[in-house]
Amino acid sequence: MKSRRGLVLEVEDGGVYALDVDRPVAGLVGQRVTVEGTRSGFDRLDVEWIGPARPRGDPDT
């Protein structure tokens, strides 16, 4: 989702992370995603890769 802080990831357990992303990801806003990156602060992730999440129950997850 977008916020005043930029892009924000809400995780299922209730956590919220600000994302530092250096590529366009507007098409993923509002969707379930998988994020790979490095935690760079208490609530910040430096994103190396982000893409659509696999559906729940997918045997490859």
Mean per-residue pLDDT, 3-15: 87
- Asked if the model's pLDDT at residue 38 lies above 60, the reply is yes
Report residue 56's pLDDT band, with 50, 70 and 90 as the boundaries.
confident
55 in the Ramachandran plot: left (φ > 0), alpha (ψ -120 to 50) or beta?
beta
In this prediction the pTM is: 0.77
> When comparing pLDDT for 16 and 58, which is higher?
16
Q: Are 9 and 19 in contact (CB under 8 A)?
A: yes
d(CA 5, CA 58): 33
